[in-house]
């Protein structure tokens, strides 16, 4: 008599336990999948933010290059040029500081080297006083720009 009531009761208890464990396991798997998905989304958002700031830095560098070419190739040095040079150098350094905050140290170091080279060529001109000066400006900046681009490409892969 005891076995006729105990066996079904034991079956109900075991069935409930198995059902609870299955629900718990599915819940944990769902939570882990959500955490992974959320981490992927955050990583992609950070990458997108970094790319945006890297492009902004390159844009600032490009503007400063134009300022240097205007000075040394087109012989501009008036007050308007000086204001433009100061603004472009300031913008470039602000963009570089953003890279410092958001990117790996290797990317930051490459950005700093490029910013220093651009700043030097804007303020002092290219080392070689020969003609054409626009090509001398670009030749002065080219090695550090290439290094920066290579480092960025490696870190974005």
SS3 content of the chain, % helix, strand, coil (to 5): 90, 0, 10
User: Of 17, 103, 124, nearest to 56 (Cα)?
Assistant: 103
User: Of 63, 65, 37, 83, nearest to 125 (Cα)?
Assistant: 65
The pLDDT score that the predictor gives to residue 62 is 96
Instruction: Report the largest interatomic distance among the alpha carbons of the chain, rounded to a whole angstrom.
Output: 111
pLDDT tens string for the chain (157 positions)?
A: 566 777 777 777 777 777 888 787 888 878 888 888 888 989 899 999 999 999 999 999 999 999 999 998 888 889 999 999 999 999 999 999 999 999 999 999 999 999 999 999 999 988 777 777 888 999 999 999 999 999 999 998 8
What b/e string do you get for 80-107 counting C-beta neighbours within 10 Å, with b at 16 or more?
Answer: eeeebbeebbebbbebbebbeeebeeeb
Distance CA 150, CA 74 (A): 31
The pLDDT score that the predictor gives to residue 1 is 55
């Amino acid at each position: 008599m005891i076995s006729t009531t105990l066996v079904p009761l034991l079956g109900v208890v075991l069935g409930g336990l198995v059902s609870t464990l299955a629900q718990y396991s599915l819940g944990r798997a769902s939570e882990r999948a959500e955490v992974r998905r959320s981490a992927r989304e955050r990583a992609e958002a950070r990458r997108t933010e970094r790319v945006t700031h890297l492009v902004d830095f390159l844009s600032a560098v490009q503007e400063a290059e134009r300022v240097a070419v205007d000075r040394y190739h087109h012989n501009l040095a008036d007050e308007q040029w000086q204001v433009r040079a100061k603004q472009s150098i300031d913008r470039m350094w602000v963009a570089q500081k953003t890279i410092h905050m958001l990117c790996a140290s290797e990317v930051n170091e490459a950005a700093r080297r490029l910013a220093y080279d651009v700043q030097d060529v804007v303020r002092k001109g290219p080392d070689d006083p020969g003609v054409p000066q626009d090509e001398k400006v670009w030749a002065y900046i080219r090695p550090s720009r290439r290094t920066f681009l290579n480092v960025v490409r490696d870190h974005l892969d």
